[in-house]
Structure 1
Amino acid sequence: MAFLTNEEVTELKNQVNIGDLISQYVPLTKSGKNYLGLCPFHGEKTPSFNVNADKGFYHCFGCGKSGDVIDFIKDYKQVGFVDAVKDVASFAGITLNIEDDSTAEKDNPNAL
């Protein structure tokens, strides 16, 4: 298991434009302050997937899925939290210092 502080995760979320990230996976069109597209989480013909880049979240009015950049990657790629954080950081060109339990065990032979 890897360790990240809440501050590191919050900083990462603030540095990534959710519209730019999601548009790598879902075609989006600008609609006022928001972006609209077809929801990647359920089949639809009329766009109900809304991305608010200013507030950093997405919401589908069809299926109810919503969240931030990390939630999107978790749901879209069906990965865990740490893998989603790594993916978002990679997209943003940010290197994270993530301490892994296995590394800690190697450094500390007394670790359980």
Structure 2
Amino acid sequence: MSGQPETVSHGEGQQHPIGLYFKVWILLFVLSSMSYAVDYFHFVGYLRWTLILVFMFLKAGLIITVFMHFAWEPSTLKLALGLPVIAIVVFIGFMAVEADYTFLSRLTFMSGGT
């Protein structure tokens, strides 16, 4: 023990083919174009918001998977990070259904019964 910090020699980091990144960039461009097309073609209502959210989640998933190297993580880490996200999405779905039910109940019972 000389009091000096030990230096650890690390090997070269894992390299991924550049073609993978180009493919993901092209796919992100296509998804962004499709998201723009939703507004361009004047989709409205639930269809509009569903398409926008689907494209948003697909783009976020690609970015996390490839550019943040999530695809190469151990499966236990994927499970530890993925389960809470899935639980949150399910919870948001339940709350959306509950909000619609509450809104429709208020319309029915507070409008004078007509």
Please indicate, yes or no, whether the TM-score normalized by the shorter chain is above 0.5: no
In our comparison, the structure showing a higher alpha carbon Rg is 2
- Structure with greater proportional helix content: 2
Q: If each structure's strand is expressed as a fraction of its own residues, which one has the higher value?
A: 1
Tell which has more relative contact order, 1 or 2 (C-alpha 8 A, sep 6+).
Answer: 1
Normalising by the residue count of structure 2, what TM-score does the alignment of the two structures yield? Answer: 0.30
